[in-house]
Structure 1
Amino acid sequence: MTQDTHSSGAPWRNFYGRFKGKTLRPSQEIYLDEDLEALSPGPIGWEENPGRAPLDLTPVFDGAPVWLEIGFGGGEHLVHQAQSNPQVGLIGCEPFINGVAMLLGKVRKAEVQNLRLYPGDVRNLFDVLPDGTIDKAFLLYPDPWPKKRHHRRRFVTEEFLDPLHRVLKPGAEFRVATDIPDYVRQTLLEVPKAGFEWLAEGPQDWRDPWKDWIPTRYEKKALREDRVPHYLTFRRV
């Protein structure tokens, strides 16, 4: 567990993982300095007062539907969805600052305008989002925490799933992709308990990727190492 204070200034809470990896390239430092603040989903300091001032996303995306990607890694999927769905607003949450810098480079290149990002723990965003704000959510190749004693750190636990259920609209879709068999097991056990319906009707529904899917770097690594991706689709009920 790390007890580093994140640069966002958000209140400290238990966070298992890294905020920063190898040294950023000069261009990535420029992206962070010049672009990050303008892509915030709320006014400066919004994350410092969770639970006090609800975050209204209506003016941010002009009332468009809002999709959320939790832990966007290098941002390939997030930018792809933003390009493919200009009528939708997208928010990406990622505490690993190296991934944030990578995404900012992709945003510059793609010139997408319908994307916002929060470089911190998604729980801070959950704290300030009103009920029923999000129309679709993605959890793609989350940290597997393979050791059994660390399974409680996974996203598919009550601590994360309950607030996710609250901020999703009734009927909203929740997609999970993972190549870890035990993560599949825990997902299929815990997500329905949190108020979601698994939409699979046959094996192809979890073996085949979604029609609008783009492979991420994590999936490509899994395939190189002969691990099998699973694509799980749920509906908030």
Structure 2
Amino acid sequence: MTPDIRHLRSYGRIKARTLKPRQAGLVETLLPHLAVPEEGALDWEELFAPVAEDVGLAPPTAPLPAEPSAQILEIGFGGGEHLVSQATAHPDRRFIGVEPFLNGVASCLRHIEESGAQNIRLHQGDARDVIARLPDASLDLVYILFPDPWPKTRHHKRRLIQPEFLGDLARVMKPGAELRFATDWANYAAWTLEHLMRDRRFTWLAERAEDWRQPWPGHVTTRYEEKKLGDCAPIWLRFVRR
């Protein structure tokens, strides 16, 4: 029997410790209202239809705009600190967050409940499954923050940044859209630069060393970043879709 490759691409764990009762409850009650549909082409307007008032979110402090100023994808949002902070700071923008790790999704739901953010939708699973169903040229910004580095050479094929993935990503990014990538593994930074600079659909925005040594304005530090698990200081790479 041929395996279903869609369920093999994330490689890493999808669940660790048992969810706390509050988190488990949010997965059961809140996630269904915020989850990206599992199948079919994605329509931004349908996806961001107003959330029902009885799901437990605090009401927005201001009406959500009919036309968003930007549509943003965060791939691998970890515990959701960065995603929710960005969404609450920019209620005029729409955010899709993707994370394969169930505990991370549950943590993000807690942040969403506490903040009352109405402009976030979530997918637990592989980002490529979401990207494949997004409309062409619909993203203004993509975050990939501290993805699994797969440092061993024999595991490099498991890294997210691959030529095929960049092709899929280029399709859904608007001309002039930005890709922001951060890692604390030197080899993965070099790997990413090599692949992105070889791809003529992207341009590296750095002009001086400080551009990759310092985070971009508005960055929110995550718990993973604070752990300093890599082999170098964080490297911040920005690319624009030509």
The answer, yes or no, to whether TM exceeds 0.5 is: yes
Contact 2:185/2:231 (8 A) holds in 1: no
Letter of the 1:73 partner, please give it: G
1:232 alignment partner in structure 2: 237
2:42 is aligned with 1:55: yes
- Aligned pairs for 1:105-116 (under 5 A) are 105-116=110-121
The match for 1:85 among 90, 98, 103 is: 90
% of aligned pairs identical?
46
1:17 alignment partner in structure 2: 12
Q: Distance in 1 between matches of 2:173 and 2:214?
A: 25
Question: How many residues matched?
Answer: 221
Q: Distance in 2 between matches of 1:164 and 1:82?
A: 21
- Aligned pairs for 1:26-175 (under 5 A) are 26-41=21-36, 46-48=37-39, 53-61=40-48, 62-64=66-68, 65-175=70-180
Q: Cα offset for 1:236?
A: 0.7
TM-score normalised by length of structure 2:
0.86
Describe the SS at the equivalent of 1:123.
Answer: helix
Q: Cα offset for 1:12?
A: 3.6
Q: Distance in 1 between matches of 2:12 and 2:123?
A: 16
Unaligned 5+ runs, structure 2: 49-65
Name which of structure 1's ranges 193-202 and 177-186 shifts more when overlaid on structure 2.
Answer: 193-202
TM-score normalised by length of structure 1:
0.88
RMSD, matched Cα: 1.9
Q: Cα offset for 1:144?
A: 0.5
Per-residue CA deviation, residues 192-224 of structure 1 (Å, 9 max, x unaligned), is 33321000000010011111011111111117x
Per-residue CA deviation, residues 132-169 of structure 1 (Å, 9 max, x unaligned), is 11110000000010101111111111232111111111
Letter of the 2:91 partner, please give it: P
2:209 is aligned with 1:222: no
2:213 alignment partner in structure 1: 207
Unaligned 5+ runs, structure 1: none
Point out 4+ residue stretches in structure 1 off by more than 3 angstroms: 10-15, 59-63
